């Protein structure tokens, strides 16, 4: 095609094969960019699907139960506290979009949920399986309330602080925090004290229960 014919062809709206290839490459690049951007959201939804199905089933059955919930049972209390923390951490995971304190708020809640359930299982069923007397129910509920409840509040406070610009792993920037972020980190610090007290109480109560059983065995 001569230069004159090429100009006439373009004036009539015609396209060369190279033009089609270029536009096709641009379209593919745009599609890949959209797919890459939506991939993390898609993966989050797929990973959370089994947990959400289980949670909906559990809540539905619990609400339909005519019997009152046994809040005084330390095993039930530990399970409820664990599920609440796990749900909180899971919800936070969907809202993370940067490198701030929302990330540790998420995984601290989820990890503490596992720790609470493990502590409750040891102090109730675990001690029974070891032929030992269970820990005092009231003491178990109190320590789990301190440990799990403290972390529940601490995670929320840290998440709020991250939403207002508190970056993770940057202690040098604490002096320039937004007022809400600074308040969030302060609440996080106070709530963490209760978490530490609850964790220390668990260690003391668990060791005493094990030692007490050993002393009975040695005496027999």
Q: Which two tokens stand for residue 108?
A: 């601290």
Length in residues, the chain: 220
pLDDT of residue 63: 77
* Alpha helix (H) residue ranges in the chain: 3-11, 17-64, 74-94, 102-121, 127-129, 137-163, 179-219
In this structure, the answer to whether residues 26 and 111 fall within a common structural domain is no
Domain boundary among 15, 36, 67: 67
Residue 220 pLDDT more than 70? no
Q: Indicate if 144 and 177 belong to the same structural domain.
A: yes
pTM value surpassing 0.85: no
Last residue of a domain, one of 67, 89, 107: 67
- State the Cα–Cα distance between residues 33 and 10, nearest whole angstrom: 30
What is the span of the domain harbouring residue 80?
70-220
* Shared-domain flag, residues 191 and 144: yes
Residue 111 CA: distances (Å) to CA of 97, 121, 156, 161, 215: 20, 16, 14, 20, 34
Query: What are the tens digits of pLDDT across the range 72-123?
Result: 999 999 999 999 999 999 889 888 887 889 999 999 999 999 999 999 999 9
pLDDT greater than 60 at residue 213:
no
Structural domain total, the chain: 2
């Amino acid at each position: 095609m001569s230069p004159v014919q090429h100009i006439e062809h373009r004036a009539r709206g015609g396209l060369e094969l190279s033009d089609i290839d270029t536009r096709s490459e641009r379209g593919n690049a745009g599609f890949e960019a959209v797919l890459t951007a939506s991939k993390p959201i898609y993966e989050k939804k797929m990973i959370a699907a089994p947990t959400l199905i289980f949670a909906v089933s559990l809540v539905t059955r619990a609400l339909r139960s005519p019997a009152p919930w046994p809040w005084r049972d330390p095993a039930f209390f530990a399970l409820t506290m664990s599920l609440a923390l796990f749900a909180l951490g899971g919800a936070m995971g969907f809202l993370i979009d940067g490198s701030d304190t929302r990330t540790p708020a998420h995984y601290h809640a989820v990890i503490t949920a596992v720790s609470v359930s493990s502590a409750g299982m040891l102090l109730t069923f675990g001690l029974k399986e070891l032929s030992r007397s269970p820990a005092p129910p009231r003491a178990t509920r109190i320590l789990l309330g301190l440990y799990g409840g403290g972390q529940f509040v601490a995670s929320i406070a840290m998440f709020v602080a991250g939403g207002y610009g508190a970056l993770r792993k940057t202690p040098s920037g604490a002096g320039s925090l937004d007022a809400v972020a600074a308040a969030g980190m302060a609440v996080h610090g106070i709530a963490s004290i209760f978490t530490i007290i609850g964790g220390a109480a668990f260690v003391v109560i668990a060791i005493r229960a094990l030692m007490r059983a050993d002393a009975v065995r040695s005496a027999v």
